[in-house]
Structure 1
């Protein structure tokens, strides 16, 4: 599955765009100044995405990669 396919599936499941996830991560303190906040671990972000949005591990990691700067 391509990175874009992961993002498309996530949007279909949650109704959230990549930009929405960036804003939500920032509101949680996970993302600031265009990057993942200092001291934040991948598991903190993936656990949040799994719990709040019901994402599986691979899809949660796709959002983590997006926050790390991977291009769509």
Structure 2
């Protein structure tokens, strides 16, 4: 599955884009000025996305990769 397919599936499931998740992560203090906050680990993001949005591990990791700058 391509990275874009992961993002498309996430949007279909949640109605949210990668940019929407970035805004939500900023509110939760996972991101600061668009960058991962110090001491925030992939597991923190994955747990949040699994709990609040019922994303699977792979899809949650795709959002984490998006936060780190991956776009394709």
- The DSSP-based 3-state class of the residue aligned with 1:51 is helix
- Mark the runs of 5 or more structure 1 residues left unpaired by the alignment: none
Q: CA deviation at 1:33?
A: 1.6
Cα drift, residue 67 of structure 1: 0.3
Structure 1 ranges of 4+ moved more than 3 A: none
TM-score scaled by structure 2?
0.96
Deviation at 1:71, TM superposition (A): 1.4
Residue pairs, 1:4-19, within 5 angstroms: 4-19=4-19
Q: In the alignment, is residue 3 of structure 1 matched against residue 6 of structure 2?
A: no
Structural RMSD (CA): 0.7
Match of 1:55 in 2: 55
Q: Normalising by structure 1, report the TM-score.
A: 0.96
How many Å apart are 1:18 and its aligned residue?
Answer: 1.1
1:45 corresponds in structure 2 to 45
Instruction: Provide the rounded CA distance (Å) in 1 between the counterparts of 2:3 and 2:27.
Output: 24
Structure 2 distance, partners of 1:33, 1:27, is 11
